[in-house]
Structure 1
């Protein structure tokens, strides 16, 4: 399978959704919001992405449905375990999704967005009001009433199940236990927390400290992270960020902000480097490359023409330019001009296992075989792009995955196949909450960040 054939749900750089408080005033009766949320949950369980499903929700309902569906995704392991205790044979998909939605929201008082009795009453009403679930409304009512009566005992019975305890598929937990015997619990706990909103300051307009002070004057607290970043104490709509429309700041995770400065670390930033951003959409790293290397000639590729439009929009907001092409990086014969690149950034398609706190549906969309399938795509991209690199040039391979088959194992296999490749000091797997290695000292304090992998490769003389 080529890079162009990778399913969109398996792309590693999914678009983050703006978080909306669950406590926001509902725009519709709660039963109607629960109906819409259950429909989204049913779609995710059928293999469709949460992002695309939320786009189809009616605008007045979308903020509340988004908040509730995020919470259900983060509690779905527990919800499914409780449903298995309440009924051995799963009901039809629509009824099962509504039942799991109610259980995911109501199983624990301190995380329930509404009083538990209210959630149960409104879930039953949602079943009665929907054609697909009307026939099961009595069954749903009986299950949820029993849940109210026996909640503590039922929850206690699920506590020994790792999938319920950590709200990830069992195969995912098993893999992390094998690959990170000391850190697997830390990784799973971090994945359950909502992601902070992290900004990258364009230092052409402000120093990080100056922009931090500007935010503070507007009542928006922020902590400096890395060399370019500020982590907001509370997320805000981007329209509230001073200078956002003029490109003074971008939203970008602290770990993702390492890519551009790592690529040509220690080399003259003012040289007219030829740089390829091989899987560039939506353009956050492309913009950062041009901020770090203002004289560079950057070619930004993406296989999806619509996503290329997004790159163009982002670069226009930042006031920078790159050559943008809709092309498959795995087939250079179709787009390469035969001039070698000084540097290549390969942000490869991956399982996105490092960004599940931003996209909590990812854990339920992935299958145990996905890493191997994506590994073949990653190897294909590395093999196709390495010959395009000039002698002495650098290729930065990165994924937003914590699975080692998409990081260390992939790079070690590449090094064995290519004797002209040398691995330079690199961060490797970035685990949330740990100080990364192989990066400048000032970049060590990354605050809360996504799981990432970085390997910096240099082409040497044979």
Structure 2
């Protein structure tokens, strides 16, 4: 087990905190959301939004920042000084992409060197940032001419090109944008137009979706604490594409329904909003993430049985039950939600894909016997790679004689004002 370096900066310096978060992701392998939560108690409420903006932004444009640092430094920072490399990124990102005045961005970043206990490097950090300010226009042109302007690892660009020869550039461009904020209105409380009026009364403008009866897109994202009656369970933050899962499943009251790989519970709660009298079993392998399912159910005042369990080994927890419907939200590369989780670009490896494909296939084939005859299974991923999606389903149908595909498979791609990249296949047991 790798022990993470935990720094509790005193005096307070949010640039030092940001560099620690980036270090935890890129050098320690933490997810960005996990690294942010680790530092949550060290961040003041007024700085929370700026910390998120800087950290998510750095993950989006990482190759650009790396290019500038390499151009400005004769030797890379290594070993225990590596965190200062990330502090430089924080400074350059602020200069390029935030409204923080340049002198404040430089000054506060330089002060972060002391907080990180590297005072000998203070002059170097100051020099690099001031040189960047002087040469910013020239360096930007150089990056556009020579750098990795896709802002993606080359292996992923190659796979996206191969899968979508006509759309790959649009997919890459959309991945590099900030994601829209989608809401799912709980129609047991409000219709979408009525909740839209409630938002408007709080000066929050939104746009409904003519093809999705539960969905609202906020014109400008806000914190959940600003959403009217959020704590009462009236509304849930959930991407448009993810909202399709429960609708495709078509849950009915009285049925026994399995939500497999269910954490953090957004789809579990949606199933119960559509069929409040359904008997839902929500299963996930991660005990920490299972707690999130319970929290979401509690907020929405919904009831489901929630257990920790491995999708590969349903015999350990299903107790011989057969389900009317199964939603399998399979573990995947998450290449469809990169704009929402830009750290995926740098944490995922090409070798992960084959391992994930095998894991998905094992879960799918092992859970199939637990579906009743005539029952429905939705296979879902938040991936855009055919190996995990279309090819996976074709392979499954070729060897499982009582599985039948209902309608066509659905592959959503990330779109600017639409949903994330999701895949759905609806199977019935004949």
Give the TM-score normalised by the residue count of structure 1.
0.83
Aligned to 1:159, the other structure's residue is in SS state helix
Match of residue 234 from structure 1: 220
Are residues 1:175 and 2:159 paired? yes
Q: Displacement, 1:134? A: 2.5
CA–CA separation in structure 2 for the residues paired with 1:274 and 1:282: 20
Q: Aligned ranges for residues 210-249 of structure 1 at < 5 Å?
A: 210-225=194-209, 226-249=212-235
Show CA shifts across 1:35-92 (max 9, x none). 1111111111111121122123203154432221112112211001122222353212
CA–CA separation in structure 2 for the residues paired with 1:101 and 1:174: 29
Q: Displacement, 1:31? A: 8.9
Q: Aligned ranges for residues 34-433 of structure 1 at < 5 Å?
A: 34-46=15-27, 47-57=29-39, 58-60=42-44, 61-87=47-73, 89-92=75-78, 93-106=82-95, 108=96, 111-131=97-117, 133-161=118-146, 163=148, 165-225=149-209, 226-264=212-250, 270-433=252-415
Q: Displacement, 1:261? A: 0.9
Show CA shifts across 1:113-168 (max 9, x none). 3233442343233224532x3333333333333322222222222213463x1322
Give aligned pairs, total: 412
Match of residue 14 from structure 1: none
Does the CA-based 8 Å contact 2:181-2:218 persist in structure 1? yes
Does the CA-based 8 Å contact 2:19-2:86 persist in structure 1? yes
CA–CA separation in structure 1 for the residues paired with 2:83 and 2:252: 58
Does the CA-based 8 Å contact 1:75-1:105 persist in structure 2? no
Does the CA-based 8 Å contact 1:30-1:122 persist in structure 2? no
Does the CA-based 8 Å contact 1:31-1:123 persist in structure 2? no
**Long gaps (5+) in structure 2:** 1-8
CA–CA separation in structure 2 for the residues paired with 1:365 and 1:459: 37
Does the CA-based 8 Å contact 2:10-2:115 persist in structure 1? no
CA–CA separation in structure 2 for the residues paired with 1:222 and 1:41: 33
Give the TM-score normalised by the residue count of structure 2.
0.89
Aligned to 1:360, the other structure's residue is in SS state coil
Greater relative CO, 1 or 2 (CA 8 Å, sep 6+) = 1
CA–CA separation in structure 2 for the residues paired with 1:367 and 1:121: 36
Does the CA-based 8 Å contact 1:200-1:251 persist in structure 2? yes
Aligned to 2:258, the other structure's residue is in SS state strand
Show CA shifts across 1:200-234 (max 9, x none). 11112211111112222222211112221111122
**After alignment, is 344-353 or 81-90 more displaced?**
81-90
Q: Displacement, 1:272? A: 2.1
CA–CA separation in structure 1 for the residues paired with 2:376 and 2:24: 42
CA–CA separation in structure 2 for the residues paired with 1:339 and 1:40: 44
Does the CA-based 8 Å contact 2:337-2:414 persist in structure 1? no
Which stretches of structure 1, 4 residues or more, deviate above 6 A after TM superposition?
28-31
Does the CA-based 8 Å contact 1:273-1:342 persist in structure 2? yes
Q: Displacement, 1:298? A: 1.2
Q: Displacement, 1:254? A: 0.7
Residue 96 and residue 306 in structure 1: after superposition, are their counterparts in 2 closer, same or farther (change >3 A)? closer
Cα RMSD, aligned residues only: 2.2
CA–CA separation in structure 2 for the residues paired with 1:194 and 1:260: 26
**After alignment, is 179-188 or 57-66 more displaced?**
57-66
Residue 118 and residue 270 in structure 1: after superposition, are their counterparts in 2 closer, same or farther (change >3 A)? closer
Aligned to 2:196, the other structure's residue is in SS state helix
Does the CA-based 8 Å contact 2:14-2:51 persist in structure 1? yes
Aligned to 2:340, the other structure's residue is in SS state coil
CA–CA separation in structure 1 for the residues paired with 2:396 and 2:127: 57
Aligned to 1:199, the other structure's residue is in SS state strand
Residue 342 and residue 81 in structure 1: after superposition, are their counterparts in 2 closer, same or farther (change >3 A)? same
Q: Displacement, 1:257? A: 0.5
Does the CA-based 8 Å contact 2:333-2:356 persist in structure 1? yes
Does the CA-based 8 Å contact 1:273-1:296 persist in structure 2? yes
CA–CA separation in structure 2 for the residues paired with 1:85 and 1:148: 13
Residue 410 and residue 161 in structure 1: after superposition, are their counterparts in 2 closer, same or farther (change >3 A)? farther
